[in-house]
């Protein structure tokens, strides 16, 4: 299980298996024309994994979006909502798109995202969703405190989104 623990304080997704990085960069111009997948993730999962607010759009089909750049290529991968009427805190359905049809890069991203979701489910889900923000694991407990503090600091912004 220790191999599943990732440093959630970094804003990059690193897949040691492929030795590539996906950097979270919401300033990227997005041309994600290839649909990859739908994922059901709640706000706490997204916040624990990324710890960065998404791009927020005033108009269009998408209101919220996180953008990632594959370090070794120009590929941009995006996680976004679509025709969403909910607030950010209540959005549970997300879409993944890619600017490239490269199956290897998309596979790497999905593999890293699945590892991050698994890490959340094993170590963070219960203490976060039960709002205790505590763990017997010292490293996880430290990260839970950081997550809680960041949620409190962003509380007013999150209520408006």
Q: Label residue 13 by pLDDT band (50, 70, 90).
A: very low
Question: Do the domain assignments include residue 122?
Answer: yes
Provide the residue range defining the domain that includes 75: 11-160
Whether 3 is in a domain gets the answer no
Number of separate domains in the chain: 1
Task: Give the pLDDT score at 19.
Answer: 57
With respect to residue 27, please indicate whether it lies within any of the assigned structural domains.
Answer: yes
Instruction: Of 148, 78, 160, give the one whose Cα is nearest residue 113.
Output: 78
Burial label, 35 (beta-carbon count in 10 A; 0-12, 13-18, 19+): exposed
SS3 63: coil
Do the domain assignments include residue 44? yes
pLDDT mean across residues, the chain:
84
Euclidean distance between CA atoms 52 and 67, whole angstroms: 11
pTM of the model: 0.80
The pLDDT, as a whole number, for residue 25 is 82
What percentage of the chain exceeds 90 in pLDDT?
A: 54
Tell whether 1 is covered by a domain.
Answer: no
* 72 located within any domain: yes
């Amino acid at each position: 299980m220790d191999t599943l623990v990732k440093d959630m304080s970094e804003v990059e997704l690193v897949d040691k298996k492929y030795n590539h990085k996906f950097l979270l960069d919401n300033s990227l111009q997005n041309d994600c024309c290839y649909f990859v997948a739908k994922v059901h993730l709640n706000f706490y999962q997204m916040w624990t994994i990324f710890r960065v607010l998404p791009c927020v759009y005033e108009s269009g089909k998408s209101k919220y979006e996180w953008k990632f750049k594959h370090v070794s290529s120009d590929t941009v991968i995006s996680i976004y909502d679509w025709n969403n009427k909910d607030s950010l805190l209540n959005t549970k359905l997300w879409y993944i798109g890619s600017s490239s049809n490269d199956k290897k890069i998309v596979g790497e991203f999905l593999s890293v995202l699945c590892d991050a979701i698994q890490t959340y489910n094993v170590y963070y889900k219960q203490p976060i969703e039960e709002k205790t923000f505590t763990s017997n694991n010292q490293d996880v407990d430290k990260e839970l405190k950081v997550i809680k503090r960041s949620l409190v600091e962003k509380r007013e912004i999150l209520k408006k989104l």
